[in-house]
Amino acid sequence: MAFLQLSRIMRPDDANIAGNVHGGTILKMIEEAGAIISTRHCNSQSGEPCVAALARVERTDFLSPMCIGDVANVSAEITYTSKHSVEVQVNVLSENILTGAKRMTNRATLWYVPLSLKNVDKVLEVPPIQYAWKELEEEGRKRYEEQKLERLVTKERNGDIIFPVINPEPYTVGCSQSSLIHLVGPSDCTLHGFVHGGVTMKLMDEVAGIVAARHCKTNVVTASVDAINFHEKIKKGCVITISGRMTFTSNKSMEIEVFVDADPFVDEPKERYRAVSAFFTYVSLSKEGKPLPVPQLVVESEDEKRRFEDGKGRYLQTKAKRQVQMQPLTQQ
């Protein structure tokens, strides 16, 4: 199967004031590796030239923080192909180049679709890969069907808009909600003139981090990202609004909903549309890097209460999955 590895040293501008590398920086590196390997594969056979566009990122856990001076070793492998999509598994290892110590920091699964360089609305066919065992192909097909269904469900619930709140009370949703406005320029875009998925994810993580910091008023780091769904392409010249709001808090974590709306102004003006959506989970840390209790979110409206219960359901579901995964380890 196709394999790729990238490495980069973490610089001060990659990190927050506590020296922890931004989750968005790591997500951007993960996406770059995925885009390279999937684009290479989709052009591996003679045919119409194409570029692989990011369609979805599955849940990604940040297993260990990365710091300034560490080397991020990003490895990517194609693990499944359908007729029109590519699944890429990406692992990130953090390396201390002074001691040689390495540790796993991230595992991610990304889905790409090949778009023609001649016509960006044309999705091309993906060359099939060879599987070592038939079971690997069956497992990949199951993952493909699951993510396809989840994308449809997510798109149906994407209609919310975040409005500013005047004089919000402490620890309410309105107190910490945040937005960032960004004009999409050439450096943000692919050969097609559409935004790199990694650029979008980095901006989303930045907004989620602001929401979390406003709520806790402490150092915060990304703990995980639920599935990120890319609903529509964002073209060069668009003005995008990245909005984030707190939806749920447990004793030690915060769930933040982030979505990206695009306003096209250049070439073909049309109405604003929802381009990307995701849930980020953050934790609060002390100056020594120890987990701190999170102030509980104060929910006021019926919509906020509903979103809180939905977030609680996702939290308990993730917690249950983690306990099941840990059982074989404890029984050894």
- The catalytic residues are 16, 205
SS3 state at 332: coil
Of the CA atoms within 13 Å of residue 283, those in its CB half-sphere come to 16
Burial class (CB in 10 A: 0-12, 13-18, 19+), 168: middle
Beta-carbon contacts of residue 156 (< 8 Å; ≥ 6 apart)? none
Q: Report the distance separating Cα 53 and Cα 276, nearest Å.
A: 13
Q: Residue 189 CB: number of other CB atoms within 10 A? A: 17
Q: Which residues pair with 4 in a beta bridge?
A: 76
Q: Report the distance separating Cα 75 and Cα 247, nearest Å.
A: 33
> Please, are residues 205 and 27 in contact by the beta-carbon 8 Å criterion?
yes
> Please, are residues 227 and 277 in contact by the beta-carbon 8 Å criterion?
no
Output the CA torsion 209→190→59→140 (10° steps): 180
Output the CA torsion 112→117→118→120 (10° steps): 40
Helical ranges in 127-196 per DSSP H: 134-156, 173-176
Q: Report the distance separating Cα 86 and Cα 42, nearest Å.
A: 9
Q: Rounded to whole angstroms, what are the CA distances from 311 to 61, 138, 206, 232, 239?
A: 17, 31, 20, 25, 29
